[in-house]
Structures are given as structure tokens and as C-alpha cells.
Structure 1
Amino acid sequence: MNIIIGNNLKMLRKAKNMSQEEVADHLNISQSAYARMERGESTSCAIHFNKICQVFEITPEDLVKKELGIATYESLMNTERQTEIAMISIYRKIIKKYELEIEDLKTIIKYLNKGKN
């Protein structure tokens, strides 16, 4: 059972693009203690079971499944991808705003330079 949970922890962590240290920080344990959980060498995951499920946004059933499943993995990746798409959209709006401001400033500079001549 520890090997199954360990494999699932590793897959979930990678799907969330997190380091072992980041997950360990969420669980308030050392990175080496978390690494032992991923390798299936520790039973301390039972103590942190609920917190692990919260960190990875999964159900307890998902954590102990022999195969975590493509659907769970894809849902994690889709959430990450949706966040990425939303951020790109926001960045594009900001860039567009600055491009418009730059064009306005160019027009003002052009107008001011005409007044000097």
C-alpha cells in the first residue's frame, strides 16, 4: 500500500509542478520525510492523509487507488492549463493597454515637436 500511495504522491506532485520541498512545507515536515513517503518507505502518510488530499485537491479514495488514473491526472493538468491560459489573457490585455499608451505618447511627442519648429 505504501508503494501505491508513494507512486500516486509523486505523480500528483509532478502534475502540480511542485517540488518535494514545497509539498513538505505544506505538510509541515522535512523534505527527506516527504521523499520517504514517495518512495513508499514511510507510513507517516497516514498522519498527513487529509492534508495531502487538500494539497493535491483529490479525494482520499483517489490517493489510495492502485492506479491514480488518467482522468485525475488530466483534471489536475487541465486546471493548471486553464490557469496558464487565464494568465496569458491577462498579460495580453496589459500589453495591449501599454501599446495604446505608447501610441498616444508618440502622437503627443510628434505634436510637441511640431510646435518647436
Structure 2
Amino acid sequence: MNIIIGNKLKNLRKAKNMSQEQVADFLNISQSAYARMERGESTSWAIHFNKICEIFEITPEELVKKGIGDSVYESLVNTEQQTEIGVLNVYRKIIRQYELQIEDLKMIIKHLNKGKN
């Protein structure tokens, strides 16, 4: 999930014609810390979740939404060419992706709840 969020951060930043340093300044972190977020090497984006949504003018759902179902299904499943066992294996992969996404969202919620205390 960190890589997906990182790619979104990079695309959002470029769409706003902002530098990594500008975003990092807004988040009150170093440019290198922000660069690690964009590369998917850091989970600290969860700590800055609300400010990230604010700077890029997006909803929290837009930041974490993956669209995993359609993209994974289209890239992995061609039901005309795969056997029933192959299709079941693809569905297992899709389910695993959803399970990972749920775990990532639980971590986000945990970090957000820490900030409320």
C-alpha cells in the first residue's frame, strides 16, 4: 500500500506543480522524509494524512482508494484462456490484496486515533 500511496503523492504533487521541498515544508518534515513517502519506503504518510489531503485538496478516501478489484481482475484474469483452477487462484490473489488493504487502513485509523488523544 505504501508504494501505491507514494505514487499517488508523486502524481498529486506534480499535478499541483509543487516540489518535494514545498510539500515537505507544508508537512513540517524534511524533503528526504517526504521523498521516502513518495518512494513507498515510509509509512509516515499516515501520520500526516489530514494535512496531505488538505494540501492536495482531496478527500481521505481519494488518497487511500486503490481500485484494486478492476485493475487486478483485468490484468490477471482472461476467463476465456484460463482454466477454472487458474481463475480461482486469481480470485485468491484479489482477496489477498483486499486483506492487505484492510490491514493498511487499520494502521491509518490507529495513527489517526493516536492524534486525537
Length-normalised TM-score, structure 2: 0.56
Q: Which string of whole-angstrom CA distances, capped at 9 and with x for unpartnered residues, describes residues 1-52 of structure 1?
A: 1011000000000000000000000000000000000000001011000000
Q: Does 1:25 find its partner at 2:18?
A: no
Query: Where in structure 2 are the equivalents of 1:1-117 lying within 5 Å?
Result: 1-66=1-66
Aligned Cα root-mean-square deviation (Å) = 0.8
Q: Percent identity?
A: 87
Whichever structure has more helix as a proportion of its residues is 1
Mapped to 2, the partners of 1:2 and 1:21 lie a distance apart of: 20
Q: Which runs of 5+ in 2 are unaligned?
A: 68-117
Helix, strand or coil for the counterpart of 2:17? coil
Mapped to 2, the partners of 1:66 and 1:22 lie a distance apart of: 26
Moved over 6 A (4+): none
Write the letter of the residue equivalent to 2:18: M
Q: Which string of whole-angstrom CA distances, capped at 9 and with x for unpartnered residues, describes residues 64-93 of structure 1?
A: 1226xxxxxxxxxxxxxxxxxxxxxxxxxx
Write the letter of the residue equivalent to 1:19: S
Mapped to 2, the partners of 1:4 and 1:64 lie a distance apart of: 8
Which has more radius of gyration?
1
Write the letter of the residue equivalent to 2:27: L
Corresponding position of 1:78: none
Helix, strand or coil for the counterpart of 2:40? coil
